[in-house]
């Protein structure tokens, strides 16, 4: 009985610690100041009047971003005229939108995956476009960046155990535009989760990170990556065991390779027996939808990732 009580205490303590870490990471997301009208829609899930929004009949080329946090949401090329009275899009920037069942129990609500801002609702089967999907969005939930003002982006690929936790912690970092879970480093095209888990395809669970170089850089993200997983564990991370859970940085260019090797050298000088692979990035295969934004969608906290300062 005593051992059961001790185990229960450790479980509660560990869960509380991970919850505090998750809350601390969410606090890093910067929110813009909203007007009462914007709060009514973005925070309290209201709806602006049809045909009244700034972007309903807007035809400029560029990117629509979240009014609350500035995260890119939609490209102008995916906007179309539906006649419904609100801006309509038939596609989103990968990883930008979260879908949940609306409070009415019927519709699908769409929110910003980064900050949770209410955007509108999702409809399917209307046949407005070949994609047969409509993101019906409130103009007041959006800002717009013209094409000529859009910033260049860069991409990094990190593998550090279960990609749920790696993605969750990395997507909270300032300057990160979007994240996506997937598979890299194997020898089979378009592998499925069960195949990767078998260890026979050679893939590692990997997170694609698209970031704004004017707000962060590869070295900052790589440092953080080495601090949210244990780079000394070979072919595992916590309770997850297998080559698919190995630690790896898949570099896109020589600069990313040099930076990664420099950081590993620093860690080794500090006494860490780092086993992280440094490999040229190859094909990145998207993981199944239920793996995307897993912890945001479920409200849970990472079970095998936590922050430990190493630099």
- Kindly report the CATH number assigned to the domain that includes residue 285: 3.30.1060.10
Q: Does 211 lie in the same domain as 188?
A: yes
Element (H, E) at 9: helix 2-26
Among 89, 117, 149, the domain-final residue is: 149
CA distance 264 to 274: 7
> 136 catalytic, yes or no?
yes
Q: Among 118, 133, 149, identify where a domain stops.
A: 149
Q: Tokens at residue 215, please? A: 């707000």
Assess if residue 306 is contained within a domain: no
**CATH, residue 103:** 2.170.150.20
165 lies in the same domain as 291:
yes
Asked if residue 311 is part of any domain, the answer here is no
Q: Is residue 9 a part of any domain in this protein?
A: no
Domain match, 167 and 292 both: yes
Q: Quick one: 138 and 231 in the same domain? A: no
Q: What are phi and psi of 216, to 5 degrees?
A: -155, 180
Beta bridge partners of residue 79, listed in sequence order: 89
What is the Cα–Cα distance from 281 to 155, expressed in whole angstroms? 11
Q: How does DSSP assign 151-203, residue by residue?
A: PP-EEEEEEESSHHHHHHHHTTSTTEEEEEEEEES-SSSS--HHHHHTT-S--
CA distances from 262 to 90, 158, 265 (A): 43, 16, 5
How far is it, in rounded angstroms, from Cα 247 to Cα 83?
Answer: 50
Domain identity same for 193 and 101: no
Residues 163 and 256 occupy one common structural domain: yes
Distance CA 279, CA 293 (A): 25
Same domain, 171 and 144: no
Is residue 10, in this structure, part of any structural domain at all? no
Residue with tokens 């009047």: 49
Q: Is residue 101 part of a domain?
A: yes
How many domains does the structure of the chain reveal? 2
| 307 falls within a domain | no
Q: Which of 149, 183, 211 is the last residue of a domain?
A: 149
Residues spanned by the domain of 128: 36-149
What are 224's two structure tokens? Answer: 């953080």
My answer on whether 81 and 94 are in the same domain is yes
Determine whether 162 is an active site residue. Answer: yes
**Could you list the pLDDT tens digit for every one of the 311 residues in the chain?**
334 344 434 443 444 444 444 444 444 557 899 999 999 999 999 999 999 999 999 999 999 999 999 999 999 999 999 999 999 999 999 889 999 999 999 999 999 998 999 999 999 999 999 999 999 999 999 999 998 766 788 999 999 999 999 999 999 899 998 899 999 999 999 999 999 999 999 999 999 999 999 899 999 999 999 999 999 999 999 999 999 999 999 999 999 999 999 999 999 999 999 999 999 999 999 999 899 989 988 888 888 899 999 99
Say whether both 161 and 278 belong to one domain.
yes
What pTM was estimated for this model as a whole?
0.62
CA dist., res. 21 & res. 158, Å (int): 20
Both tokens assigned to 304 = 């095998």
Q: What is the radius of gyration, based on Cα positions, of the chain?
A: 21
Return the pLDDT at 150.
67
Same domain (yes/no): 106, 171: no
Q: Report yes or no on 4 lying in a domain.
A: no
**Are 160 and 201 found together in one domain?**
yes
Tokens, residue 35: 């007007």
Q: Please tell me whether residues 159 and 270 are part of one structural domain.
A: yes
H or E element that contains 237 = strand 236-237
**Which one of the listed residues 115, 136, 197, 304 is annotated catalytic?**
136
Q: Does some domain include residue 30?
A: no
């Amino acid at each position: 009985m005593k051992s059961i009580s001790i185990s229960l205490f450790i479980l509660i303590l560990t869960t509380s610690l991970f919850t505090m870490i998750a809350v601390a990471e969410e606090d890093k997301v910067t929110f813009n100041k909203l007007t009462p009208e914007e709060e009514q829609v973005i925070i309290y899930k209201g709806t602006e009047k049809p045909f009244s929004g700034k972007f309903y009949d807007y035809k400029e080329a560029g990117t629509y971003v979240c009014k609350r946090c500035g995260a890119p949401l939609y490209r102008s090329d995916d906007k179309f005229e539906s006649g419904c009275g609100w801006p309509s899009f038939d596609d989103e920037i990968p990883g930008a939108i979260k879908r949940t069942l609306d409070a009415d129990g019927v519709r699908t609500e769409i929110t910003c995956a980064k900050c949770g801002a209410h955007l509108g609702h999702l409809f399917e089967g209307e046949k407005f476009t070949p994609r047969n999907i409509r993101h019906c969005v409130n103009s007041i939930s959006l800002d717009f960046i013209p094409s000529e003002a859009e910033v260049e982006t860069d991409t990094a690929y990190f593998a550090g155990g279960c990609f749920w936790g790696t993605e969750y912690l990395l997507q909270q970092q300032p300057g990160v535009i979007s994240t996506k879970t997937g598979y890299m480093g194997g020898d089979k095209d378009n592998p499925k989760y069960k195949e990767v888990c078998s260890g026979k395809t050679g893939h590692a669970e990997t997170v694609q990170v698209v970031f704004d170089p004017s707000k962060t850089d590869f070295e900052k993200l790589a440092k953080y990556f080495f601090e949210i997983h244990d780079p000394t564990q070979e072919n595992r991370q916590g309770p997850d065991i297998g080559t698919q859970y190995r630690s790896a940085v898949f570099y896109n260019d020589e600069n990313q390779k040099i930076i990664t090797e420099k950081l590993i050298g620093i860690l080794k000088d500090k006494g860490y027996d780092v086993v992280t692979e440094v490999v040229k990035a190859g094909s990145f295969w998207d993981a199944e939808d239920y793996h995307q934004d897993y912890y945001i969608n479920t409200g849970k906290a990472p079970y095998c990732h936590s922050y430990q300062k190493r630099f």
